[in-house]
Structure 1
Amino acid sequence: MSLLKLSNVSAFYDASQALFDVSLSVEAGEVIALMGRNGMGKSTTVKVICRMLAHRDGQVLLDGQEMTGWPSHLAARAGIGLVPEGRRCFSNLTVRENLIAVARPGVWSLKSVAALFPRLRERQHQGAASLSGGEQQMLAIGRALMTNPRILILDEATEGLAPLVRREIWIAIARLKVETGMAIVVVDKSIKELAKVADKAVILEKGINVWNGKFSELTPAVTDPYLGV
């Protein structure tokens, strides 16, 4: 049984349909790349998974349990951890306060998050608003990990960051895959970096699944029309 499964999901913003029969599955320990150009439905799919947007048709299952009608806080309690696009740290709290505010029992703690991102330990008493963009992204990932999720979703976690910081984030994602066996969904555009961590890929075009398969099977015949500039 898949840890997370979307089957023929449609979703709307008022009268405008954003997703058309989208399907994907995530097994325990898998890293899935959710790909596509801007505005093609990736973040909408994330919102449906995290129950920030209700789907109208199809099924969304977590460990075989239908999530229809769930509020977003119940999805989080059930084990879905989100690193949202744009980071969205609690700017009026310190680094430490951001982390402990969402903490739930499990292997992830202040100590283990600091081991993944040592800079957060160094800045634990700083206000989140004073951090650099890269440090805020590390904090957003650490905050999601502090919920001790079963599946981690990273929505454009490296967008707009300096190359050295992007590299740190990708190294951290690789460590999470190897050292924790956590299921991860990564929304990103970097084929080169995704190839190092992703097991499978799902590509969306105008809210429709246009490709689904092993990441190693992605070819220019697929990437050029759907991911190229």
Structure 2
Amino acid sequence: MMKAIQIPKSLIEETITRIRDAILTGELPLGSKLSEQRLADMLGVSRSPVAQALAVLKTEGLVEVYPKRGSFVYMPDARTVSELCEYRAILETAALQLSLERQSPLLLTSMRASVEAMEGALQAKDLQAYSRHDMAFHLAFLSHCDNRQLESAYSRSISTVIGVRTHVFMSGSPHPMRSMDEHRQILAACEAGDPQAACRLLEIHIHHLDKDFINMG
């Protein structure tokens, strides 16, 4: 019996990446309805890879599926955002301490580059670019902690946090200036060789996200 032609795996992976990026950059807003046919038309593919992509993104927590209603971009409640921030703070402070112990010069170089890029994006009033460079600042902790398990755990769970951050940023919240100052303070503490102060500042900074999210309601 003739077998059906399988959709190339690379096409499915590319579809997943495109839809994920659209969610994380705010092109597909939190809570918005996802039409398989509309997404397929936008991406120039059939509905099959889109359906498979949404199934994968559901496992990542970025898509929610409701019987008889369809698929939607996730919209977490305040408690979920608070828990995500708590989880993120635990991982990032651990990664920052390890990075300062193991690869401090490389870490500081990465952090300085991100801060400089964030300042440029803020001056240009490009909030999407600011958000990307902000994330790069935090990812530097994981890149230089020399712990693959910690980096893997972070990468599996960070997407939902990025989506919330973008949602808050694009809402017109005035907090980017505060965010910029906090990143400078974290960098300064690291440059001063004070990991305890850096981690304390980092934890405060991370938990501002759940407060900003609540204030949007």
TM-score class, shorter-chain normalisation, is under 0.3
Query: Larger RCO: Structure 1 or Structure 2 (Cα < 8 Å, ≥ 6 residues apart)?
Result: 1
Structure that is richer in helix per residue = 2
TM-score (norm 1): 0.25
TM-score (norm 2): 0.26
